[in-house]
């Protein structure tokens, strides 16, 4: 089963997405729904997806759950609850976990003015609630911020499972590879920390990236996490800022195909099925 473990939908008529107002996001400032993604999945042979919240919003989460009821290929939903309000988060989770496709929580921590928001005491309490329900946390880290906090989270919450989105958006062109790798290595020391090979094309220069640009960063992730803790995600439709779904798929496949069939099976599906506890399709 091939899984796209990271994609999004949004519609301004359903919820507000303030980050779309930025100039650089003008090309994707339109609604995106499952009907637009479905043919792209069929084209490359992806069997199912995990749709991830695009805003800290109840309405956004409810829209994703509604889509999951309509489209069988949506195997998982990573939604949102107010982690800095543990009691409210707990009540909301009690309702969400009744949906079989609800598989985890994410908060746009990179949109918070405080780069240390995720390690505030109230947020830690909210994450403890999440862990008590057996749900994982997607960390949308943007290097050089946020990634440093992953070891703190897993040390303070021993049962919390974490996945680092987009390999923490590494500085693919002209950045400090060694410093990024040190922080990733610190996070990878805990076996409950996973990572997504996703969103890397938009970490490179727009529309001038190639698979060779991604190679050293994915190789480093492979060295640190191994295939059993890496999962593929398209980051569609954000990725369309820098290329088509097919381009992202082909570039990712060109890199991970070098690791052999067994490793590819983990990265392209088995890891996501295990981490998000997805049903076999």
| pLDDT digits 0-9 by tens, 66-97 | 999 999 999 999 999 999 999 999 999 999 99
Which of these, 86, 96, 187, lies nearest to 128 by C-alpha position?
A: 86
Task: Tell me which H or E stretch contains 39.
Answer: helix 34-44
Farthest-apart Cα atoms in the chain, separation:
47
Question: Is residue 175 scored above 90 in pLDDT?
Answer: no
Bin 230: left if φ > 0, else alpha if -120 < ψ < 50, else beta.
Answer: beta
SS3 assignment, position 121:
helix
pLDDT band at residue 17 under the 50/70/90 scheme = very high
What is the C-alpha to C-alpha distance for residues 129 and 91, in angstroms, rounded to an integer?
Answer: 10
SS3 assignment, position 278:
coil
- Supply the pLDDT for residue 144: 87
Lowest mean pLDDT among 45-49, 119-123, 201-205, 276-280: 201-205
Q: Residue 92: phi, psi to the nearest 5? A: -65, -40
Question: Is residue 134 scored above 90 in pLDDT?
Answer: yes
Q: What is the DSSP letter of 74?
A: E
Give the residue-averaged pLDDT of 45-62.
Answer: 98
Question: Is residue 173 scored above 90 in pLDDT?
Answer: no
Give the residue-averaged pLDDT of 135-154.
Answer: 95
Q: What is the CA radius of gyration of the chain?
A: 17
Query: Residue 60: CA atoms inside 13 Å, Cβ hemisphere, count?
Result: 26
Cβ(214)–Cβ(257) below 8 Å:
no
Q: Quick check: pTM over 0.75?
A: yes
Query: What is the average pLDDT value for the chain, to the nearest integer?
Result: 96
In sequence order, what are the residues at sequence separation of 6 or more whose Cβ sits closer than 8 angstroms to the Cβ of residue 81?
A: 61, 88, 89, 92, 93, 96, 105, 126, 130
How far lies 55's CA from each of 62, 181, 213, 217, in Å?
12, 28, 29, 27
Q: Name all domains of the chain by residue range, CATH numbers in brackets.
A: 3-276 (3.20.20.140)
Tell the residue number behind the tokens 């076999």, with chain if given.
Answer: 280
The alpha carbon of residue 165 and the mean position of all alpha carbons in its chain are separated, in whole angstroms, by: 4
Q: What is the DSSP letter of 143?
A: T
Query: Residue 74: CA atoms inside 13 Å, Cβ hemisphere, count?
Result: 26
Percent of residues, the chain, with pLDDT higher than 70: 100
CA end-to-end distance (rounded Å), the chain: 7
Tell the residue number behind the tokens 């505030």, with chain if given.
Answer: 120
Question: Is residue 281 scored above 70 in pLDDT?
Answer: no
- Supply the pLDDT for residue 174: 77
What is the C-alpha to C-alpha distance for residues 123 and 178, in angstroms, rounded to an integer?
Answer: 30
- Supply the pLDDT for residue 19: 97
């Amino acid at each position: 089963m091939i899984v796209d473990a990271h994609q999004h939908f949004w519609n301004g008529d359903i919820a507000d997405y303030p980050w779309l107002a930025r100039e650089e996001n003008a090309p994707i400032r339109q609604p995106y729904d499952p009907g637009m993604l479905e043919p792209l999945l069929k084209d490359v042979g992806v069997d199912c997806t995990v749709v991830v919240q695009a805003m800290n919003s109840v309405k956004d989460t409810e829209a994703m759950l509604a889509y999951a009821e309509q489209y069988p290929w949506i195997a998982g939903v990573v939604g949102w609850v107010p982690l800095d309000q543990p009691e409210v988060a707990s009540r909301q989770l009690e309702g969400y976990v009744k949906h079989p496709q609800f598989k985890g929580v994410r908060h746009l921590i990179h949109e918070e003015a405080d780069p240390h928001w995720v390690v505030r005491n109230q947020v830690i309490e909210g994450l403890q609630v999440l862990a008590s329900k057996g749900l994982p946390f997607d960390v949308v880290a943007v290097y050089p911020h946020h990634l440093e906090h992953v070891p703190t989270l897993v040390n303070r919450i021993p049962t919390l499972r974490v996945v680092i989105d987009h390999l923490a958006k590494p500085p693919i062109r002209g950045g400090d590879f060694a410093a990024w790798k040190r922080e990733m290595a610190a996070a990878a020391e805990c076996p409950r920390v996973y990572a997504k090979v996703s969103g890397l094309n938009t970490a490179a220069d727009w529309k001038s990236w190639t698979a060779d640009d991604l190679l050293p960063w994915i190789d480093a992730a492979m060295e640190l996490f191994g295939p059993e803790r890496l999962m593929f995600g398209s980051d569609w439709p954000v990725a369309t800022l820098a290329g088509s779904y097919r381009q992202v798929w082909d570039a990712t496949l060109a890199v991970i195909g070098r690791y052999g069939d067994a490793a590819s099976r983990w990265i392209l599906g088995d890891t996501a099925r295990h981490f998000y506890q997805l049903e076999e399709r």
